[in-house]
């Protein structure tokens, strides 16, 4: 019951926060791109939360814990949070003042990318039961090198880059896209720091790096 209460509290708070950040600057509940985004994000999130609660409550508990201990990661999380707040507010203002004109088919394509990315996000969690929102090496942690982890070393981050860059397009704002774009650099810093932690504390990680050469994008980095 404690886990359910914690999950529901964070879910409702996140929903309300996103609503305020989008619709208050928009000055209207008629911001349809905002409603589209809310549906695309929070309905799959609710479904995934229910599945995790039933099948893997320990993983759900890990995903709810966002208390970073690494100094670098604390800064990364803070910067990412600021980018998200700025991106949502700018998207709402963009709707109010009509700065951007994104064709419907582009918004539709971005919606598909967002849904596919969320599906891959769920697949990564299915493959790796050690996934935590914080950078840590768990007592019983083992190397996962199958599935998406056999393609890139950080498939969760690879998926979230596509997910987050699709958000401002779904919201119908090119200016918001510019706000979200630095998130890629934030993820690069997070990965570099995380790999130092994993090399130090996770047995076999150095060998895994030799087998799977790319961190985020195959043939690129």
Q: What is the pLDDT of residue 143?
A: 79
Give 80's pLDDT tier (boundaries 50, 70, 90): confident
The CATH number of 2-211 is 1.20.120.1630
Query: Considering only 1-5, 32-36, 134-138, 192-196, which range has the smallest mean pLDDT?
Result: 134-138
What is the residue extent of each domain of the chain? 2-211
Task: Report the distance separating Cα 144 and Cα 128, nearest Å.
Answer: 7
pLDDT of residue 78: 87
The pLDDT tens digits for 34-57 are 999 999 999 988 888 888 888 777
- How many whole angstroms separate alpha carbon 47 and alpha carbon 207? 36
Q: Picking from 12-21, 93-102, 163-172, 183-192, which range would have the lowest pLDDT averaged per residue?
A: 183-192
């Amino acid at each position: 019951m404690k886990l359910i209460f914690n999950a529901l509290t964070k879910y409702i708070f996140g929903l309300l926060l996103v609503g305020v950040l989008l619709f208050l600057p928009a000055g209207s509940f008629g911001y349809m791109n905002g409603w589209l985004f809310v549906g695309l994000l929070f309905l799959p999130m609710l479904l995934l939360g229910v599945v995790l609660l039933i099948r893997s409550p320990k993983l759900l508990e890990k995903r709810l814990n966002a208390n970073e201990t690494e100094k670098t990661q604390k800064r990364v999380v803070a910067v990412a949070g600021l980018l998200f707040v700025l991106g949502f507010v700018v998207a709402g203002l963009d709707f109010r003042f009509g700065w951007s004109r994104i064709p419907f088919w582009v918004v539709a394509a971005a919606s598909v990318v967002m849904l596919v990315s969320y599906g891959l996000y769920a697949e990564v969690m299915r493959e790796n039961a050690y996934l935590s929102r914080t950078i840590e090496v768990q007592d019983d942690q083992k190397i996962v090198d199958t599935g998406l982890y056999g393609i890139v070393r950080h498939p969760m981050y690879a998926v979230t880059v596509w997910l987050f860059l699709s958000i401002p397009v779904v919201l119908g704002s090119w200016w918001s896209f510019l706000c979200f774009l630095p998130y890629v650099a934030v993820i690069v810093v997070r990965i570099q720091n995380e790999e130092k932690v994993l090399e130090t504390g996770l047995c076999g990680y150095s060998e895994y790096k030799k087998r799977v050469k790319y961190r985020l994008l195959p043939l690129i980095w």
